[in-house]
Amino acid sequence: MADIGHNVSLSERARRIRRNALRMGEVQGQGYIAQALGVADVLAVSYFHATSYRPEDPEWEGRDRFLLSIGHYAIALYAALIEAKIIPEDELETYGTDDSRLPMSGMAAYTPGMEITGGSLGHGLGIAVGMGLALKRKGSKSFVYNLFSDGELDEGSTWEAAMSAGSYKLDNLIGIVDVNQMQADGPSLGVMNFEPLAPKFEAFGWFVQRVDGNDIDALVTAFDAARHHAGAQPRLIICDTKMAKGVPFLEARERNHFLRVEPHEWAEALKIIDAGAVA
Amino acid sequence: MRRSKYIRPEHLQNGGGAPRLTTSAMIASIAGPDQPTKPAPFGHTLAAVAERNARIVGLSADLAKYTDLHIFRAAHPDRFYQMGMAEQLLMMAAAGMAREGFQPWVTTYAVFASRRAYDFICLAIAEEMLDVKIVCALPGLTTGYGPSHQATEDIAMFRGMPNLTIIDPCDAHEIEQAVPAIAARKGPVYMRLLRGNVPLVLDEYGYEFELGKAKLLRDGRDTLIISSGLMTMRALDAAKELQRDGVDAAVLHVPTIKPLDEATILAECRRAGRLVVVAENHTVIGGLGEAVGATLMRSDVRPAAFRQIALPDQFLEAGALPTLHDRYGLSTGKVVSAIKGWLDE
């Protein structure tokens, strides 16, 4: 067996997360595939480097909490939870179907490992603030991660939460913003200009890093720095990602917020992803 | 009709001669002049219940002092969380704390919880059946500040939210009993709060609050008044006045709006020959009145007549609370005259 090394292993995790997402996308023929492919590296580092959890006990008290604020990214999180063995792989084929534990928009009551019900955007960061306060109250050393999107920067509730996290100096809260520059109505900055982003959060008292969200080494460094930062302040990792990363013919599509993929293209996409497999 | 901003007060108009009005929105008590009251029953009771329940925490959105939560804050300073003037955050943070095993009691004004934070209560709290208690001051018409502060439709909105229990207490006695009962019930609860010096009424009737139960406070042959919140106080006063005029009025107090005690309501409404009047401090749309009306229709129960005492489907005026209660039909005098009028029909 080849010596795959630590970061190479994370690349392989990311590849399998992409593969799981594509297989789920194929069940419905369409979906938020581009987001899943784009955020796969962030999820690989989150679940296989940064966070503590027990696959057999998703509600283990000592776990780090990983909140998915962006409900429609559920396909991405399911792909990671399957890779993390929190959800059995054979449930892939149920994605979005009746009676499935994997609904199209993420809900806490449906899916092991899904901490909150997202989907009404702008909820996650505020819930993370409450969890961060509660964990401190309990004397817990766990972190709360909240994965949210550049689109959620439009929501006023996100900024209510951001200000309070700074005010409470919540050093157990790590925000992860997926800046993929695409919203329902088009490119994010055209929908609403949220830049300059890092200085906004810094002004709210956060320790902010901005990285290429598809560069695993950079993500590892940023997650380590976020966890070990000495300042009594919340932490934010701004991840610039590429929609549909890893499948060039899908990356090239201009409107890819909700991708429709032709039946024959799924096999083609999987072939591209599998070509990167580590033996 | 609301007054026009282009018409000056009557006493300042040429040749007006009308008296200058001195009542104002500073007169905001629901208590009568000689009525016994208790100070901040919610705050004192919650502070006491929290002595025995370490899961309880308190959160407010810059309104602790105006929702009597400052009493809790003074008793348990390390268990109070100030969330700033941010009601969306208030509900999200409460959801997060409940997920971690705490029982957050959050306070704000009813207008802000219902109109501003609805989505956050619905998705972050109710959908997940989280153990969050939402206690809101200024329900219905209990302030003269105008529509920005008058939560005339809060119950209509919250009745539509699955999983949510809705409580509309009448007085200090009931609040003292409702708080421990709500703490003992797992799941989300919305309670309308009467704050400050709150009238003491129900102790006289040997009343005991039971979550989900309507209670007959007095019986009567001619009319049945079904009421919640402060309108039960009005109904009891009205029944005494009606008695003097030979009208025998029963009062059924329904503090739990949801789930509704349909069995008790139906049993009372089945008694023949009585005018049924539902009285509530809420718009005529979507509150206790329509809830009772639908319950009767679904069960084919037809009282002799069915009428509602409620706020009109309007944005209400500003002014002194007694003036407004009289104008919009919630004062004891207006309740008495309405019922007499209906009995004469």
Q: Give A119-171 pLDDT, tens digit per residue.
A: 999 999 999 999 999 999 999 999 999 999 999 999 999 999 999 999 999 99
**Cross-chain Cβ contact B100/A130 below 8 Å:** yes
Q: What pLDDT does B104 receive? A: 99
| Parent domain of B46 | 37-199
Q: Quick one: B294 and B337 in the same domain? A: yes
One digit per residue, pLDDT tens: chain B, 345 residues?
A: 667 888 888 888 877 778 888 888 888 788 888 899 999 999 999 999 999 999 999 999 999 999 999 999 999 999 999 999 999 999 999 999 999 999 999 999 999 999 999 999 999 999 999 999 999 999 999 999 999 999 999 999 999 999 999 999 999 999 999 999 999 999 999 999 999 999 999 999 999 999 999 999 999 999 999 999 999 999 999 999 999 999 999 999 999 999 999 999 999 999 999 999 999 999 999 999 999 999 999 999 999 999 999 999 999 999 999 999 999 999 999 999 999 999 998
Q: How far is A220 from chain B (nearest CA, A)?
A: 27
Is the distance from CB of A44 to CB of A215 less than 8 angstroms? no
Q: Quick one: B219 and B259 in the same domain? A: yes
**Cross-chain Cβ contact A132/B88 below 8 Å:** no
Q: What is the mean pLDDT of residues A15-23?
A: 97
Please report, for the domain that includes residue B272, its CATH number: 3.40.50.920
Q: Quick one: B100 and B184 in the same domain? A: yes
**Cross-chain Cβ contact B124/A160 below 8 Å:** no
Is the distance from CB of B109 to CB of B151 less than 8 angstroms? yes
pLDDT level of residue A231 (50, 70, 90 thresholds): very high
Question: B254: burial class by Cβ within 10 Å (0-12, 13-18, 19+)?
Answer: buried
Q: How far is A134 from chain B (nearest CA, A)?
A: 5
Interface size A-B, in CB pairs within 8 Å, comes to 95
CA quadruple A120, A124, A129, A130: dihedral positive or negative?
positive
Q: Quick one: B262 and B287 in the same domain? A: yes
CB atoms under 10 Å from CB of B54, counted, come to 11
Q: Quick one: B336 and B313 in the same domain? A: yes
Q: What pLDDT does A3 receive? A: 38
DSSP state, A86? S
| Closest by Cβ to A117, choosing from B57, B94, B123 | B123
Q: How far is B155 from chain A (nearest CA, A)?
A: 23
Is A74 a member of any domain? yes
CB contacts of A138 in chain B (<8 Å) are 100-101
Q: How far is A100 from chain B (nearest CA, A)?
A: 18
**Cross-chain Cβ contact B99/A160 below 8 Å:** no
Range A49-81 burial, b when 16+ CB lie within 10 A, else e: bbbebeeeebeeeebbbbbbbbbbbbbbbbbbb
Lowest mean pLDDT among A6-10, A29-33, A69-73, B208-212: A6-10
- Which residues of A fall below an 8 Å CB-CB distance to B? 107-109, 115-117, 119-120, 122-123, 125-135, 137-138, 144, 156-157, 160-161, 163-164, 167
Q: Quick one: B291 and B222 in the same domain? A: yes
Is B6 a member of any domain? no
**Cross-chain Cβ contact A126/B88 below 8 Å:** yes
Q: What is the CA radius of gyration of chain B?
A: 20
Q: Domain ends where: B139, B172, B199?
A: B199
**Cross-chain Cβ contact B97/A133 below 8 Å:** yes
Is the distance from CB of A227 to CB of A143 less than 8 angstroms? yes
Is B27 a member of any domain? no
**Cross-chain Cβ contact A157/B96 below 8 Å:** no
CB contacts of B91 in chain A (<8 Å) are 126
Long-range contacts of A95-102 (CB under 8 A, 24+ apart): A95/A24, A95/A25, A95/A27, A95/A28, A96/A24, A96/A27, A96/A28, A96/A31, A97/A27, A102/A24, A102/A74, A102/A78
Please report, for the domain that includes residue B161, its CATH number: 3.40.50.970
Q: How many domains does chain B have?
A: 2
Q: How many domains does chain A have?
A: 1
B310 vs B226: CA distance, rounded Å: 12
CB contacts of B99 in chain A (<8 Å) are 115-116, 127, 130-131, 134
Tokens of B70: 């400052």
Is the distance from CB of B147 to CB of B315 less than 8 angstroms? yes
Instruction: Say whether the ipTM exceeds 0.85.
Output: yes
Q: What pLDDT does B250 receive? A: 98
Q: Domain ends where: B172, B199, B226?
A: B199
CB contacts of B117 in chain A (<8 Å) are none
Q: What pLDDT does A4 receive? A: 35
**Cross-chain Cβ contact A128/B96 below 8 Å:** yes
**Cross-chain Cβ contact B123/A129 below 8 Å:** no
CB contacts of A154 in chain B (<8 Å) are none
B175 vs B192: CA distance, rounded Å: 10
Q: What pLDDT does A31 receive? A: 87
Residue A131's closest chain B neighbor by CA? Answer: B96
Please report, for the domain that includes residue A141, its CATH number: 3.40.50.970
pTM across the whole model: 0.95
Q: How far is B88 from chain A (nearest CA, A)?
A: 6
Q: What pLDDT does A5 receive? A: 41
Is A21 a member of any domain? yes
pLDDT digits (tens, 9 = 90+) for A84-130: 999 999 999 999 999 999 999 999 999 999 999 999 999 999 999 99
For chain A, give the mean pLDDT: 94
Is the distance from CB of B229 to CB of B170 less than 8 angstroms? yes
- Alpha helices for A111-239 (secondary structure H): 124-138, 156-167, 188-191, 197-203, 216-228
Q: How far is B129 from chain A (nearest CA, A)?
A: 10
- Which residues of B fall below an 8 Å CB-CB distance to A? 57, 81, 83-84, 86, 88-89, 91-102, 104, 119-120, 123-124, 127-128
B281 vs B279: CA distance, rounded Å: 7
Q: How far is A123 from chain B (nearest CA, A)?
A: 7
User: Which contiguous run of DSSP H or E holds residue B258?
Assistant: strand B256-258
**Cross-chain Cβ contact A109/B127 below 8 Å:** yes
DSSP state, B285? S
Residue A116's closest chain B neighbor by CA? Answer: B124
Is the distance from CB of B173 to CB of B179 less than 8 angstroms? no
| Parent domain of A20 | 6-275
Q: Domain ends where: B199, B226, B245?
A: B199
Q: Quick one: B98 and B144 in the same domain? A: yes
Nearest Cα residue to B41 out of B238, B175, B140, B240 = B175
CA quadruple B308, B312, B316, B322: dihedral positive or negative?
negative
Q: What pLDDT does B162 receive? A: 98
Residue B88's closest chain A neighbor by CA? Answer: A157
pLDDT level of residue A279 (50, 70, 90 thresholds): low
